[in-house]
């Protein structure tokens, strides 16, 4: 049991520390999951080790009956009565009972929500393990550069990372028919899919909370918060009632004696605040995930946005190049980097910082300039196909050993 628990914790820590993601991803699968697990432990402790319910019992009940009545009512649900009917005097057919069925399941609901939030992350990690191990290694090595202080060693490590990145991108695009078919966009497609899957999951969670405790209005969290602020919230609200009733029977002389008692669901004081907070949190999470998914989709699959995003990675504007340099850079971005290459730089920028992403972008683009100029001179043909991609990758790797090749010149402002 201990080994199993240790393995689960280790797997969760590995999942949360995986570099192949951004802050919005971590907001969903890390921070929100930790929050939900904390709430599950908090409410579960109250339910199973505290006093989640207290009931008024007749004075002739012995102590064992009092404990039995309290536990029975907590386990088998309680109910509300309509506000216009007296519980004791009205005919039974006029008494409207509204069952309260959720409070026993609140900790398990939180655990289920936490599990749903990590589903997109499990999917993306599965894809990375199959097709994106090189991308993960590049991001991890770039993150390690933050602790390197010596400038020579830093440049040497950057050169190694750039060489590995070029090799990995070239291999991913040319090593199989599957990679050639997607033309350098396979990982980007799966990453965008995982982004939109996260949006769908948080929307489902918001709808689920609304159905679970929200009743007939989608904005119940907002309305309930207004009631709390205005101090108009009473003890018999339908969403989180404090005062409820419970019926149970006790056998006496072979005859069932039915007792109706009044109870206080003290655990609902806690549930109410938690669910209001979660409603606002997940609503904000939905908006943030949707914005992130739209941004990533446009950045990776719009050629114009892909090019200008790489320019921002280099920390220069479009006016920083002459016509020939701009032509070379566009061919490099659209002909070799493609969506997967831009995704790599986005992940490096998110995990290692903009400075390291900029330096890596300059190393990779500088190594490829000679190849692109040779392309212009006719050294390589079929510029739009797989031969172009494979040739560019191999020659860019060989450019490391070449002296005096042309390269993109950094504007003085970012030296």
Quick one: CA dihedral 290, 295, 296, 302, positive or negative?
positive
How much is the CA Rg of the chain, to the nearest whole Å?
31
More confident residue, 370 or 113: 113
DSSP 104: G
If asked whether residues 330 and 267 sit together in one domain, one would say no
Are 259 and 247 contacting, i.e. CB atoms less than 8 angstroms apart?
yes
Give domain status of residue 193, yes or no. no
Q: Looking at residues 113-129, what average pLDDT do you find?
A: 91
Token pair, residue 222, equals 């907002």
What are φ and ψ of residue 308, in 5° steps?
A: -70, -25
Tokens standing for 137? 């290694």
User: pLDDT digits over 358-395, tens only?
Assistant: 888 888 877 665 555 555 554 443 444 444 444 444 44
Query: What pLDDT, on the 0 to 100 scale, is given for residue 268?
Result: 87
Do 10 and 106 lie in a common domain?
yes
> What pTM was computed for the model?
0.78
User: Is 196 contained in some domain?
Assistant: no
In a domain, 378, yes or no: yes
pLDDT in tens, 6-36: 454 455 555 555 666 788 999 999 999 999 9
262 φ/ψ angles, rounded to the nearest 5 degrees: -100, 135
As beta bridge partners, residue 250 has: 257
For the beta sheet containing 243-252, the strands, ordered from the edge strand earlier in sequence to the opposite edge, are 54-56, 255-264, 243-252, 78-81, 97-100
Domain boundary among 289, 315, 338: 289
Beta strand residue intervals within 127-279, DSSP E: 243-252, 255-264
The angle subtended at Cα 108 by Cα 107 and Cα 111, nearest 5°, is: 90
Distance between CA atoms of residues 138 and 151, nearest Å: 19
- Secondary structure class of 291 (helix, strand, coil): helix
Q: How many CA atoms within 13 Å lie on the side-chain side of 159?
A: 10
User: Is residue 392 located within the same domain as residue 321?
Assistant: yes
Q: How many whole angstroms separate alpha carbon 209 and alpha carbon 342?
A: 37
Q: Which residue has the higher pLDDT, 367 or 348?
A: 348
pLDDT of 87 > 60? The answer is no
- Which residue range forms the structural domain that includes residue 377? 126-187+303-414
**Residues in contact with 33: Cβ distance below 8 Å, sequence separation at least 6, in sequence order:** 114, 117, 118
- The verdict on residue 25 lying in a domain is yes
Is there a domain that residue 192 lies in?
no
Q: Is residue 135 located within the same domain as residue 117?
A: no
Domain termination residue (choose one: 231, 255, 289): 289
Within this chain, do residues 259 and 322 fall inside the same structural domain, yes or no?
A: no
What pLDDT is stored for residue 181 in this prediction? 67
Are residues 324 and 405 located together in one domain of the fold?
Answer: yes
192 and 300 in contact (C-beta within 8 Å)?
A: yes
Q: Count CB-CB contacts under 10 A for residue 333.
A: 20
In this structure, is residue 328 part of a structural domain? yes
Does 219 fall in a domain? yes
Confidence of residue 108 (pLDDT cuts 50, 70, 90): very high
Q: Does 109 share its domain with 75?
A: yes
Residues 11 and 136 in one domain: no
Do 280 and 135 have their domain in common? no
With contact defined as beta carbons under 8 Å apart, do 393 and 166 qualify? yes
240 and 105 fall within a common domain: yes
Judge whether 296 lies within some domain.
no
Helices (H), 219-318: 220-229, 267-301, 303-314
What pLDDT does residue 203 have? 93
Q: Where residue 288 falls among pLDDT bands split at 50, 70, 90? A: very high
Cβ–Cβ < 8 Å for 246, 54 = no
H or E element in which residue 97 lies: strand 97-100
Last residue of a domain, one of 260, 289, 318: 289
Residue 278 has a pLDDT of: 92
Residues 145 and 104 in one domain: no
Domain identity same for 397 and 350: yes
Question: Residue 183: what pLDDT?
Answer: 72
- The total number of structural domains in the chain stands at 2
């Amino acid at each position: 049991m201990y080994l199993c628990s240790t393995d689960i914790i280790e797997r969760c820590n590995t999942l949360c520390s995986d570099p192949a993601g951004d802050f919005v991803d971590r907001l969903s699968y890390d921070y929100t999951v930790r929050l939900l697990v904390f709430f599950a432990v908090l409410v579960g402790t109250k339910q199973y080790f505290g006093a989640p319910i207290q009931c008024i019992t007749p004075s002739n009940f012995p102590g064992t009956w009092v404990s039995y009545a309290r536990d029975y009512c907590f386990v088998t649900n309680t109910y509300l009565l309509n506000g216009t009917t007296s519980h004791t005097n009205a005919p039974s057919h006029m008494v409207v009972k509204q069952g309260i069925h959720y409070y026993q399941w609140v900790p398990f609901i939180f655990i289920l929500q936490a599990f749903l939030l990590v589903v997109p992350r499990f999917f993306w990690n599965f894809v990375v393990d199959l097709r994106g191990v090189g991308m993960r290694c590049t991001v991890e090595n770039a993150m390690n550069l933050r602790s390197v202080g010596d400038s020579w060693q830093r440049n040497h490590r950057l050169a190694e990372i750039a060489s590995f990145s070029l090799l990995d991108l070239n291999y991913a695009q040319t090593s199989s028919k599957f990679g050639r078919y997607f033309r350098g966009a396979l990982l980007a497609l799966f990453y965008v899919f995982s982004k939109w899957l996260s949006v769908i999951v948080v929307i489902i969670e918001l709808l689920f909370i609304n159905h679970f405790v929200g009743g007939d209005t989608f904005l119940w969290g907002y309305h309930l918060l207004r009631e709390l602020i205005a101090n108009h919230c009473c003890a018999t609200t339908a969403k989180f009632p404090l005062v409820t009733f419970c019926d149970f029977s006790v056998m006496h002389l072979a005859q069932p004696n039915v007792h109706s008692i009044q109870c206080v669901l003290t655990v609902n004081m806690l549930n109410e605040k938690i669910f209001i907070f979660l409603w606002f949190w997940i609503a904000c999470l939905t908006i943030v995930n949707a914005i992130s998914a739209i941004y990533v989709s446009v950045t990776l699959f719009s050629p114009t946005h892909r090019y200008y995003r790489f320019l921002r990675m280099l920390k220069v504007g479009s006016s920083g190049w002459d016509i020939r340099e701009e032509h070379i850079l566009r061919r490099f971005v659209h002909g070799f980097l493609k969506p997967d290459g831009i995704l790599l730089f986005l992940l490096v920028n998110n995990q290692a910082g903009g400075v390291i992403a900029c330096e890596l972008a300059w190393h990779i683009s500088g190594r490829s300039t000679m190849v692109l100029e040779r392309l212009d001179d006719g050294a390589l043909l079929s510029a739009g196909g797989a031969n172009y991609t494979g040739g560019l990758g191999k020659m860019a790797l060989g450019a490391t050993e070449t002296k005096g090749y042309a390269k993109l010149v950094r504007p003085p402002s970012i030296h």
